[in-house]
Structure 1
Amino acid sequence: MIGAGMGAMAAAARLAVAGHRVTVFEREETYGGSVRSFERDGFRFDTGPGLLPLPAVYRDLFLKTGKQPLEDCVDLVQVDPAVRHLFADGTDVFVPNASRAGTVDAIEAALGGGTGERWARFLNRAREAWDRARRPLLEEPLWEDWRVLGERDPYPAVRKSGLLRKRPPTFAEAMRHELADPRLIALVESSVLAYGLDPRTAPASAAVLPYMEQAFGTWYVRGGIRELATAVYERCVQRRVQFAFGAEVVGIVEKDGRAAGVELADGSVHEAEFVVAGVDPQALTGHPLHDPRQDAVLDTARVRPGRFTVLLALSGAREDDAVHRTVVHAPDRKAELTALAGGFGPGVQPTVTVLRPGDPALVPDEEHESVVLTAVAHKVADAEEFADRMVTAAGQAVPGLRDRLLWREIRTHGPVPHPSLAGADARYLHPSNTTRLPGLHRVGGWAHPGGGLPHAGMSGALVAGLIVEGPDFRGSQ
């Protein structure tokens, strides 16, 4: 196993239970991939994902790999309200957790003008897209006929009367026609933007992203999402998975036309019946992980924005009615989307997500607060100045923010892998879990079914199924 990310560990635990001896080689000194944390002066912060959607994926992992269920290993709690959306005109919407009727009422009360009913109709269409795409894009391997996923966008978009289209609408086009209110459009698009996707080019099937959150809820792990990574790692250790940290894999050993092991940076070679790689295949042209069959459709030149994170240590207690997550929307949506592709120059304000868990495990005492700000950005010229812009935006959600600020830490991350999406000529698919080299498999956010904690966990389930059951494996049940 190359890498100790969430997908790789999910595969390792399942393979170990199936009787395989598994060794994980990780070049860093810890596990979890992007699911990391930072600690200083008694404060603790998640530096990767801060919330868990679709926890059923990890419930299934713990059920299939041991007697202790997920809830016995981590303290999993629903976040309610799921999110507060704050717009430049001062309007805000408090979205309840996994409540369709409650969300319709909240949107109509805040935005008016029939927006609640338009949201309900959108959610019906998004559910249809989810029902059509769920198995091929989340629960099954990417089969040889994967191109059909590019030809068919499962989102049943409403077309204007008399309008003939030569192509399916993009997500932005569909939302502009169906939702009308710019604030409601921004609310829906924020789920797409969070993965670094441009709504103006993403397929309409991206509607499954806000649908997943609305249908299955938003969850938090007390102590931080890093605790989930620790629980998965400990489950692997319990199943006698071996971990080698500080061990960089530099090559894959081939023998008799199949993968036969890995070579480390220290020159050592480790033989294996199967090799599973949790790495970004885009940087591996010419390598066995690179699949030339997909070059025609995988848009390798597409800009891939990264995640910009600011960790804030604050004095003063969190107010009792504070919301766990607030999305502070950019005042100029068009300027933000332009900057997403070309770079954030001075004066362009990003959409900022403010996480205020209110978790005693994250602070030195009850008179302090730990806050995480995130934005999706590309080519930030001045990190400190960009962080200032984010803090200014967050001040709308955190009372007295600047006066309470003790210190801040800036973290920049590479491109954000998005979940696989149908449509758009398959440009939003990820490479399959199998490769052109027998015995070599891909896992994690840069492989099918794509990025995000649930999708990474499912990639582990798919790879384990392909190895244990062979090419006849038809997907998770």
Structure 2
Amino acid sequence: MARIAVIGAGMGAMAAAARLAVAGHRVVVYERTETYGGAVRRLTRDGFSFDTGPGLLPLPAVYRDLFVKTGKEPLESLVELVQVDPSARHVFADGTELALPNASRAGAVSALDAALGGGAGERWGDFLVRAREAWDRTRRPLLEEPLWPNWADLAEREPYPSVPHRRLLRTRQAGTLAEVGAFELRDERLRALLESHALAYGLDPRTAPASAAVLPYMEHAFGTWYVRGGMRELARAVYERCVARRVEFVFGAEVTGIVEKDGRAAGVELAGDTSGAPGSGGGSVVEADHVVAGVAPAVLDRLVPGTVPVRGAGEVAAQRGMPARLTVLLALRGGRPEGTAHRTVVHPADRESELDRLFGAEAGLPTASTVTVLRPDDPALVPDAEHEAVTLSVTVPAGLSPSASDVGRIMETAERAIPGLRDRVLWREVRAPGDITEETGVPGGAVPAPALAAAGGRLLQPSNGTRLPGLFTVGGWSHPGGGLPHAGMSGALVAGLIVEGPDFRGSQ
């Protein structure tokens, strides 16, 4: 039985802890805040309740697998999963509206033809077929296996089978997601639909590789799900599974360093003693056979300078700056109208200007942003049926401190999805990137993107192993990247590497 110290109680870290405990190891999780879940948290006030992190769950099979592998109780016995249908309602700049069915190709084709005109559905359906091919080519190396030692193969090879596009005397194939939209979808609204999937993960569709087509495909193929009571209920279930498997949690325990001995990780240094009791005095050292770090690379580098995650044979993993997320939590008077879509995406008229402001040299909040509006049909979130809890979400530059006028513009955009919105507001809470930094320690409140193939490896997240033997990384800032399912898979990969050793080749 090995002693394993886990830094942080995020979703990936807890997924690793539960699997390692079931394998017979003694696991202790050290969390600097007073609760678990990382960015998956909840705000409650006056009978209202809001998710302050992710609001929906793609690919729930990852967490079903976690609960099957760590005990007899399946996930559905602990939380209620609800498939969201329609998957999303889209409000385009020209006033066109589209309700996209959940996990139904035929339904999506029919809805697109009805909303956007004949041929739109067929073009989107054909795109999904090609996206599936990219998914099939990259699913195992990007989700189910440790990052290949020869990761350059993933970096150089574009898995998306682009359709040749002939213009005048030239024939080109799409190399970016934006080019996929321009060459293959050929409708500004379809392009906005496609590009919104990349933007939701903080990716610029103009530079994101064509392989980012797997993002809308994943949602289409496996559906979009909501956890009754809010996504915090999923974090609670994972935490309670850890406790049931005798994982020990120490809250209020800040790790200030990683101990090295004989050339490998040998424990962690804490700002207080191992009890985490207030006023306990000076720092202490906790010995461990392995250390699992669920922190961003900048935080890890402070804990053990120079020991960053590696890609393959000693390659330093280059971290690209990622945008953050701004959310506005709205307590509304008046109940949720029957038939309201759970999720509505409101698209701006000038997407190019939005992308320039988000990803350009002088980053700032765009005048008009893509706004995602979440309106769950969940009595647990409101004091009674005469009120509604709504969350607005916008991709913003990391570190942004929004002004009142910034929030006002977001509210104005959201009113295209909820007419009369501002007259219904009882109160609102604005969650800026700085709040994410406070809860997770991530500089600028940046949100990591999922790992993607091609693009020279720019979007391959760092491997779960590091240059320091015995030290592993887990969570959104390591392979296979950001997003709830990817965090869960990182936990499975780290557990496999520790239990089975460096010859571990991934889940079966």
TM-score over 0.5 for the pair: yes
Which residue among 280, 285, 289 is the counterpart of 1:269?
285
Answering whether residue 180 of structure 2 is matched by residue 171 of structure 1, we say: no
Whether the 8 Å contact between 1:358 and 1:370 is mirrored in structure 2 is no
Q: Which amino acid aligns with 1:328?
A: V
TM-score with structure 1 length normalisation? 0.96
Give the whole-Å Cα distance in 2 for the aligned partners of 1:434 and 1:350: 38
Q: Which residue of 2 aligns with 1:476?
A: 507
Q: Which residue of 2 aligns with 1:430?
A: 461
> Quick one: structure 1 residues 346 and 151, their matched pair in 2 at CA, closer, same or farther if it must change by over 3 Å?
closer
Give the paired residue count: 475
TM-score with structure 2 length normalisation? 0.90
Give the secondary-structure state (helix, strand or coil) at the position aligned to 1:240.
coil
Structure 2, gaps ≥5 residues long: 1-5, 273-282, 434-444
Give the whole-Å Cα distance in 1 for the aligned partners of 2:285 and 2:459: 35
Answering whether residue 304 of structure 2 is matched by residue 304 of structure 1, we say: no
Q: Which residue of 1 aligns with 2:152?
A: 147
Give the secondary-structure state (helix, strand or coil) at the position aligned to 1:349.
coil
**Counterparts of 1:392-407 in structure 2 under 5 Å?**
392-407=412-427
Whether the 8 Å contact between 1:284 and 1:290 is mirrored in structure 2 is no
> Quick one: structure 1 residues 443 and 77, their matched pair in 2 at CA, closer, same or farther if it must change by over 3 Å?
same
Query: Deviation digits for residues 137-156 of structure 1, max 9, x if unmatched?
Result: 00000021111111101111
Which residue among 343, 363, 385 is the counterpart of 1:366?
385
Q: Which residue of 2 aligns with 1:90?
A: 95
CA RMSD for the aligned pairs? 1.8
**Counterparts of 1:57-456 in structure 2 under 5 Å?**
57-161=62-166, 163=170, 169-266=175-272, 267-285=283-301, 286-291=305-310, 298-300=317-319, 302-342=320-360, 348-378=367-397, 380=400, 382-413=402-433, 414-456=445-487
Whether the 8 Å contact between 2:131 and 2:160 is mirrored in structure 1 is yes
Whether the 8 Å contact between 2:333 and 2:426 is mirrored in structure 1 is yes
Whether the 8 Å contact between 2:40 and 2:51 is mirrored in structure 1 is yes
Whether the 8 Å contact between 1:298 and 1:427 is mirrored in structure 2 is no
Which residue among 28, 31, 37 is the counterpart of 2:36?
31
> Quick one: structure 1 residues 41 and 346, their matched pair in 2 at CA, closer, same or farther if it must change by over 3 Å?
same
Answering whether residue 17 of structure 2 is matched by residue 12 of structure 1, we say: yes
Q: Which amino acid aligns with 1:30?
A: T
Q: Which residue of 2 aligns with 1:465?
A: 496
Answering whether residue 70 of structure 2 is matched by residue 52 of structure 1, we say: no
Give the whole-Å Cα distance in 2 for the aligned partners of 1:157 and 1:423: 13
Q: Percent identical across equivalent pairs? A: 68
Q: Which moved more, 1:168-177 or 1:454-463?
A: 168-177
Give the secondary-structure state (helix, strand or coil) at the position aligned to 1:22.
strand
Give the whole-Å Cα distance in 2 for the aligned partners of 1:273 and 1:419: 29
Give the secondary-structure state (helix, strand or coil) at the position aligned to 1:145.
coil
Structure 1 position 287, deviation (Å): 3.4
Structure 1 position 186, deviation (Å): 0.6
Whether the 8 Å contact between 2:42 and 2:52 is mirrored in structure 1 is yes
Query: Deviation digits for residues 80-116 of structure 1, max 9, x if unmatched?
Result: 1110010111101101110011001111110014111
> Quick one: structure 1 residues 20 and 249, their matched pair in 2 at CA, closer, same or farther if it must change by over 3 Å?
same
> Quick one: structure 1 residues 160 and 168, their matched pair in 2 at CA, closer, same or farther if it must change by over 3 Å?
closer
Q: Which amino acid aligns with 2:495?
A: A
Query: Deviation digits for residues 378-416 of structure 1, max 9, x if unmatched?
Result: 164643211111111111112321111011000013111
Q: Which amino acid aligns with 1:86?
A: V
Give the whole-Å Cα distance in 2 for the aligned partners of 1:157 and 1:31: 42
Structure 1 position 304, deviation (Å): 1.6
Q: Which moved more, 1:398-407 or 1:93-102?
A: 398-407
Give the whole-Å Cα distance in 1 for the aligned partners of 2:389 and 2:313: 43
> Quick one: structure 1 residues 294 and 334, their matched pair in 2 at CA, closer, same or farther if it must change by over 3 Å?
farther
Q: Which runs of 4+ in 1 moved over 4 A?
A: 282-285, 292-299, 343-347
Query: Deviation digits for residues 121-163 of structure 1, max 9, x if unmatched?
Result: 1001100000000000000000211111111011111122364
Q: Which moved more, 1:72-81 or 1:276-285?
A: 276-285
Give the whole-Å Cα distance in 1 for the aligned partners of 2:490 and 2:452: 15
Q: Which residue of 1 aligns with 2:279?
A: none
Whether the 8 Å contact between 1:129 and 1:207 is mirrored in structure 2 is yes
Give the secondary-structure state (helix, strand or coil) at the position aligned to 2:326.
strand
Give the whole-Å Cα distance in 2 for the aligned partners of 1:412 and 1:83: 24
Q: Which amino acid aligns with 1:305?
A: P
Whether the 8 Å contact between 1:138 and 1:458 is mirrored in structure 2 is yes
Give the whole-Å Cα distance in 1 for the aligned partners of 2:314 and 2:125: 38
Give the secondary-structure state (helix, strand or coil) at the position aligned to 2:392.
strand
Whether the 8 Å contact between 1:363 and 1:370 is mirrored in structure 2 is yes
Give the whole-Å Cα distance in 1 for the aligned partners of 2:24 and 2:376: 40
Q: Which amino acid aligns with 1:268?
A: S
Q: Which amino acid aligns with 1:148?
A: D
Give the secondary-structure state (helix, strand or coil) at the position aligned to 2:286.
strand
Whether the 8 Å contact between 2:202 and 2:322 is mirrored in structure 1 is yes
Whether the 8 Å contact between 1:315 and 1:405 is mirrored in structure 2 is yes
Give the whole-Å Cα distance in 1 for the aligned partners of 2:457 and 2:406: 34
Q: Which moved more, 1:260-269 or 1:54-63?
A: 260-269
Give the secondary-structure state (helix, strand or coil) at the position aligned to 1:472.
coil
